[in-house]
Amino acid sequence: GVAVIAVLQRTLHYDCIVLVKQFRPPINGYCLEFPAGLIEENETAESAALRELEEETGYKGEVVECTPALCLDPGLSNSTTHIVSVTINGDEAENTRPKQKLEYVEVISLPKNDLLQRIDELVAEEHIAVDARVYTYALALKRATEKPLQVPFMKF
């Protein structure tokens, strides 16, 4: 399958990560996830990612990079996914009022520079689950932008 890390870029706005909230019967609740789906026969991971992004969010994007197939939970299944990074030009006409093709998915765009805190707030307010890939990405973004701890010099 594919999971899409989509960055919505608009003039005079913070860059946002485009996520989807959908009901998942196995957990009997809603989950915040990256747009994702299966790769169809004779389809590349990149084209599947762009198709899934448009179906689930209405946005049209451009692929920046694509990982090799990665294990999701190798202790339980042989399921793999490609993580595909996509940029969305939010200033283009086709992306100013995107129309999704699926009614059962809610599109949620959160500022990239504050992603972890915004996810934590959503979880507290709406009591929704968060896909581990989304939370790990948000945590990594936060850690990557933190200033390293200053170690005071020892004085003798």
| Architecture, CATH, for domain 2-145 | Alpha-Beta Complex (3.90)
pLDDT over 70 (residue 40): yes
Sort strands 80-89 and 62-66 into parallel, antiparallel or unpaired: antiparallel
With cut-offs at 50, 70 and 90, classify the pLDDT of residue 154: low
Cα–Cα distance measured from residue 19 to residue 57, given in angstroms and rounded to the nearest whole number: 8
- Residue spans of the domains in the chain: they are 2-145
Provide, rounded to the nearest whole percent, the portion of the chain with pLDDT above 90: 81
